Structure 1
Amino acid sequence: MKILLNAFLALGLTVLATFGATAGTSGSFIGKSNHITTGGVTIVKNADGTATVTLDENFSLDGAPDPRVAFGKDGSYAPEADLGELKNLNGKQVYTVPASVNIDDYNEVYIWCLKFSVPLGVAALN
């Protein structure tokens, strides 16, 4: 019975590894445009081709009108890689990356003020 239980446990872990996250990258926000933006971000690319962006539980933005979450590259915000409105000024948040966005094309995550077209915070991805 113990051998059978261990076999099921091993099979379950194999299935989780197969269908779970396959690659990830992360970074930490630095405030921009006189805003205080702190906390971390993690990008996970799943085995099924989907990807998510997670702002960690320590994420914080001091406030701004119309903040958005988006990708960028080499110091430039990429409006075509917008993930949507920032859900909360503080805490963990998860965003689904649209299939039209190739996360490998970007090396930064932006918190962007759409109203004034300025960065509120940028996290370089490593």
Structure 2
Amino acid sequence: MGRVVRKRWWAGAAVLGAAVVVAGLMWFKPWALWVDETVHEALPSAPANASATASATASATAVEPAAPAGPTIVAQGTFISHEHTTSGTVKLIRLADGSHTVRLENLDTSNGPDLRVWLTDAPVKEGTAGWRVFDDGTHVALGKLKGNKGDQNYAVPADVDLTGLTSVTIWCDRFDVSFGAAELAA
């Protein structure tokens, strides 16, 4: 009788162990570190008739400031590495219609689970001191990272006040850690 109980105990332990391993693999997704997703998006442009519509509706006596003919770089920075090696540049761009886009160019970082692009008010710190500061203050989630390599755009919601938002991070929401970040400077 003792032998049958031991066999059942070992079988139960093996099933439980396998379940823990599968759950751990699903949570950490280690295979993502070896899979690259490259994205090459063109810089977005405002609709061609956006400024024409605005000027047509303005009164004849009002003087409007001229809208920029194309995209204007408001601020930019270079990524530094945090939890994972990260390189590339980030630009905050104002489009001709007045909307804003965060553009990542020549991005190269590790892939990972649940990566996001955040616009934040946190200072960019080198080393491990900078890994976890981005969720301490104000941050605006711009969306899931489209790819861990290449050029990509993230629209900034129209109601976001950009005052004080001075950095961009590639944030791993699953583990609350920055893969890399860039300080924005005019």
User: Into which bin does the TM-score normalised by the smaller protein fall?
Assistant: 0.7 to 0.9
Give the TM-score normalised by the residue count of structure 2.
0.53
Report which of the two has the higher share of strand. 1
> Which runs of 5 or more residues in structure 2 are unaligned?
1-51, 53-65, 124-132
Matches of 2:72 and 2:87, distance apart in 1: 26
Matches of 1:59 and 1:114, distance apart in 2: 19
Give the TM-score normalised by the residue count of structure 1.
0.76
Question: Who is 2:44 aligned against?
Answer: none
Question: Who is 1:31 aligned against?
Answer: 81
C-alpha displacement at 1:97, in angstroms?
0.6
Question: Who is 2:24 aligned against?
Answer: none
Letter in 1 for 2:68: T
C-alpha displacement at 1:64, in angstroms?
1.7
1:61 and 2:61 aligned? no
Q: Deviations along 1:41-95, whole A, 9 cap, x unmatched?
A: 1111234331011101x21111221110011123342564100000001000011
Matches of 1:117 and 1:110, distance apart in 2: 11
Matches of 1:83 and 1:70, distance apart in 2: 6
Identical amino acids, percent of aligned pairs: 38
After the TM superposition, which parts of structure 1 deviate over 6 Å for at least 4 consecutive aligned residues?
Answer: none
Matches of 2:175 and 2:87, distance apart in 1: 20
Q: How does 1:16-27 map to 2 (within 5 A)?
A: 18-27=68-77
Q: Which moved more, 1:70-79 or 1:94-103?
A: 70-79
Question: Who is 1:5 aligned against?
Answer: none
Let me know the Cα RMSD of the aligned residues: 2.2
1:77 and 2:134 aligned? yes
* Distance change (3 Å), C-alpha of 1:23 and 1:29: closer
Report which of the two has the higher share of helix. 2
Question: Who is 1:91 aligned against?
Answer: 150
Question: Who is 1:51 aligned against?
Answer: 100
C-alpha displacement at 1:104, in angstroms?
2.8
Q: In terms of Rg, which structure is larger?
A: 2
Say how many residue pairs are matched: 110
